[in-house]
Amino acid sequence: MDPFDTIGGFTHSATGMNHQRASPNTPQRTYSSIPHDVLLQAQTEAQLRRDALRIQQGYRHLHDQLTHDRAPDPIPQAEEPDRQPARASFPVVLNSQAWRPAKVECTICLDSFLPSSIKRLTCGHSHCDDCIKANARLALKSAPFSPAKCCHVIPRELLTRAHAFTSDEAKQYSNRMEELTNPHYKLYCWVSDCGAFIPALNQKKRVGECTECGKKTCKVCRQKSHFGPCNQERLQEQQNSEDLVYKLAENKGWKRCPNCLNIVQKHGGCNHMSCNCGQSFCYACGQAFSGGVDAHLCTKDFGP
């Protein structure tokens, strides 16, 4: 170490006894003695205070970052005017558009709807709720009755999900579908001015009550409800009438639908028949199409 240190323009010896200015032309001044170890201690304490201040500033910066729910950034050593925020914020509308489902086009009206307002049918076509309702109401008013369909008959469960009918209309549609598709015995009201179909829910062991006029019909003789056995002569007349109809259908080459057993007459075209009940069958052999038209191999000649 140099025996003389310069501090603030003054020089002092290592012994610290006398102090004088570095320039010889200035008058000399006498100062009190400052021991060297005291000076070093003062410099050390000043450095410790500066370090403590920096640590305190660092803790304060970390506290501010945590209270704002942000990831702590490094302690800034210098100003950064172009610094970006730690968390990027995006408009909510942009995020909502990212998962919004695409709209589906209705096969009937060609308008586009959200998937919640579209029903996909078994044939693969998509119908909106309004078009399904219009289809169902036209079917309910059709005479003779023809169910709501696209390429195939629309299931009643799908019509229910589309809210196509009121509760009364749903019952009426269900009764008409039962009348059309039921291959078993069908009971009708005996009153000539009524003649409405009596569904199975309105039938008991011997009689059925008409849903239109409220009259009761015997299930055996199909006449007015009565006590005791039915008139055998009348029963024989009814049986003979039915046999004549089936004999005529056989002579004309008419076929019966394998589902509802109604008689079907073809006026032209191919042998692929579609009954009003929704069943498809071959007019040549009378067999139902279960695996599609292409899967059916008819063993009879294709005739009229």
The answer to whether the CB of 264 falls within 8 A of the CB of 283 is: yes
Q: Is 281 helix (H, G, I), strand (E, B) or coil?
A: strand
Same domain for 108 and 152?
yes
Instruction: Kindly report whether the peptide bond that precedes residue 144 is cis, defined as omega within 30 degrees of 0.
Output: yes
Reply yes or no on whether the pLDDT at 188 is more than 50. Answer: yes
Q: What CATH number did the domain enclosing 148 receive?
A: 3.30.40.10
Q: 280 has which bridge partners?
A: 274
Q: Tell me if 113 is assigned to some domain.
A: yes
Q: How far apart are CA 220 and CA 8, in angstroms?
A: 133
The confidence score (pLDDT) of residue 296 equals 67
| Residue where one domain finishes, among candidates 181, 204, 235 | 181
What is the pLDDT, as a whole number, of residue 92? 43
In a domain, 58, yes or no: no
Q: Identify whether residues 152 and 200 lie together within a single domain.
A: no
Same domain, 235 and 269: no
Last-in-domain residue among 132, 154, 181: 181
How far from 58 is each of 52, 61, 73, 175, 266, CA to CA, in Å?
10, 5, 11, 83, 95
Whether residues 172 and 196 fall in one domain? no
- Residue 302 included in any domain: no
What pLDDT was estimated at residue 102?
82
Query: What is the per-residue pLDDT across 204-223, written as a single tens digit (0 to 9) for each?
Result: 988 999 988 999 999 888 88
Task: Say if strands 126-128 and 118-120 run parallel, antiparallel, or are unpaired.
Answer: antiparallel
Instruction: Report CA Rg, the chain.
Output: 50
In a domain, 280, yes or no: yes
User: Is the model more confident about 291 or about 189?
Assistant: 189
Establish if 63 belongs to a structural domain: no
Domain match, 170 and 196 both? no
Q: pLDDT-based confidence at 127, cuts 50/70/90? A: very high
Residues 21-62 pLDDT 10s: 445 555 555 445 566 676 777 778 878 888 777 777 776 766
For the cut 70, the answer to whether the pLDDT of residue 109 exceeds it is: yes
Q: How far apart are CA 117 and CA 130, in angstroms?
A: 9
Residue with tokens 């942000």: 70
Query: Does 206 share its domain with 236?
Result: yes
In this structure, are 155 and 209 located in the same domain?
no
Residue 61 falls inside a structural domain: no
The pTM of the whole model exceeds 0.75: no
Do residues 208 and 263 both lie within one domain? no
Residue 42 belongs to a domain: no
The last residue of one of the domains, among 181, 212, 243, is: 181
Within this chain, do residues 167 and 200 fall inside the same structural domain, yes or no? Answer: no
Residues 218 and 240 in one domain: yes
- In a domain, residue 94? The reply is no
Is the predicted pLDDT of residue 89 greater than 90, yes or no?
no
Residue 286 domain boundaries:
253-291
Domain total of the chain: 3
Cβ-contact 288, 281 below 8 angstroms? yes
* Helices within 72-128 (DSSP H only): 92-99
Same domain, 141 and 112: yes
Task: List pLDDT tens digits, range 144-154.
Answer: 788 898 888 89
